[in-house]
């Protein structure tokens, strides 16, 4: 939370930690653990307020390939321009995302913004680097499930295997 009411002109720095409980509060079961630090530099000049926030640390997720825990680095940045009440105008030219704060609100809640940017910074496919996956899980993936002592069921297409063999000999 950044208190907007009474914020001194100039730069002010805020720091927060985000852990497993932070992500559980959003109902995110995909992030098993987290050790993140968010730092926001808030610059206020008159009615203009800019927020530059950086989030860095690690999150633990489940590997999509072997299902073991996977620790991923997070290093993302957020640039916001705060607009108050019904202020209108063009989006900021310096590439900042515009956030509108209602006239009666006195704080800027950064939780949702931090959550969104951390989730967006994670790769779509989460898996260990080559050689890092659980070898037992990979063995099952490569070999399938053995039926120990049971015969392999016959393929329904096995009878079609020689269908074209005779025709190839006829053409020669």
Contact 40, 64 (CB under 8 A): no
Sign of the alpha-carbon dihedral angle for 66, 67, 70, 74: positive
Mean pLDDT of 1-23: 86
Q: Cβ–Cβ contacts within 10 Å for residue 155, how many? A: 9
Model pTM score: 0.71
pLDDT of residue 15 exceeding 90, the answer is: yes
Mean pLDDT of 107-130: 89
Confidence of residue 83 (pLDDT cuts 50, 70, 90): confident
What are 16-41's pLDDT values in tens digits?
Answer: 999 999 999 999 888 999 999 999 99
Mean pLDDT, the chain, as a whole number?
A: 82
Task: Report which of residues 85 and 166 the model is more confident about.
Answer: 85
What are 46-59's pLDDT values in tens digits?
Answer: 778 888 999 999 99
d(CA 71, CA 59): 6
Mean pLDDT of 97-118: 85
β-bridge partners, 70: 61
Note the pLDDT of residue 144. Answer: 62
**130 three-class SS:** coil
CB environment 85-123: b (16+ within 10 A), e (fewer): eeeeeeeeeeebeeeebeeeeeebebeebbbebbbeeee
CA distances from residue 78 to 95, 114, 120, 125, 143 in whole angstroms, order as listed: 10, 8, 12, 23, 45
């Amino acid at each position: 939370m950044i208190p907007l009411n009474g914020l001194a002109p100039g730069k002010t720095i805020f720091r927060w930690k985000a852990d497993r409980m932070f992500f559980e509060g959003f109902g995110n079961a995909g992030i098993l653990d987290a050790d993140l630090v968010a730092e926001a530099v808030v610059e206020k000049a008159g009615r203009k307020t800019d927020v530059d926030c950086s989030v860095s640390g690690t999150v633990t997720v489940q590997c999509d390939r072997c299902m073991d825990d996977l620790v991923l680095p997070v290093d993302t940045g957020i640039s916001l321009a705060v607009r108050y009440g019904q202020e209108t105008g063009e989006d900021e030219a310096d590439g900042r995302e515009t956030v509108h704060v209602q006239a009666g609100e006195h704080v800027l809640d950064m939780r949702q913004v931090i959550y969104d940017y951390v989730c967006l910074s994670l790769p779509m496919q989460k898996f260990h680097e080559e050689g890092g996956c659980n070898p037992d899980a990979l063995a099952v993936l490569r070999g399938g499930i053995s039926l120990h002592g049971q015969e392999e069921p016959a393929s329904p297409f096995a009878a079609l295997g020689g269908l074209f063999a005779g025709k190839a000999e006829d053409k020669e």
